[in-house]
Amino acid sequence: MLNLVLAAMERLALTVIVGGGVVMAAGVRPLLLSILAKPEQPVLAETVEGLSINAWNRYNRFALWAAIVVAVVDLVRIVTGLAFSWWHVGLILTIFVALLGKLSIDQTLKTRLQDAGAEAVGSAEQRAGHRRVEFLSVVILVLAVLLVILPF
């Protein structure tokens, strides 16, 4: 019974990570990028950039909590002697670290936007930060999908 409850908790948490990441990457980001592609209105671009950063930041926090839930489930499995695998623990810890990295980069992007305003939108530093976040997002999604499809 405990194993079923733990498996359900793990699946729900992994669904938050994978599903939220897909929605953000496929739905929210393209919509906001299309608005940012028109730089003739700097105030609108600054607002949309702020919305984008805040939306990703909110998802990253939810995903971080979901990763913590999966890590706790793995810890309970280890402590109770239920079936577990070290690669599963390693993947969820890697996702946890990547999410912490994303949150750190998001904070930098947000601070730069608050300090520089519309000039930060499209700047080399801002683009580099977004590329790092995109890379970490892909890594997180791939690892989370592996956790979903491969048994523990």
CA distances from 109 to 37, 99, 103, 144, 147 (A): 18, 15, 10, 25, 30
54-79, pLDDT tens digit by residue? 888 899 999 999 999 999 999 999 99
Q: Which among 126, 12, 28 has a CA at the least distance from the CA of 62?
A: 12
Q: Is the pLDDT of residue 84 over 90?
A: no
pTM of the model: 0.85
Q: Which two tokens stand for residue 129?
A: 């930060």
Which pLDDT does position 46 carry in this prediction?
A: 75
Distance between CA atoms of residues 6 and 71, nearest Å:
11
Q: Is the pLDDT of residue 131 over 80?
A: yes
Distance between CA atoms of residues 93 and 122, nearest Å:
32
Inter-residue contact 105 to 133 (CB < 8 Å)? yes
Distance between CA atoms of residues 48 and 56, nearest Å:
12
Distance between CA atoms of residues 134 and 26, nearest Å:
12
Our measurement of the distance from residue 123's CA atom to the centroid of its chain's CA atoms, rounded to an integer in Å, reads: 23
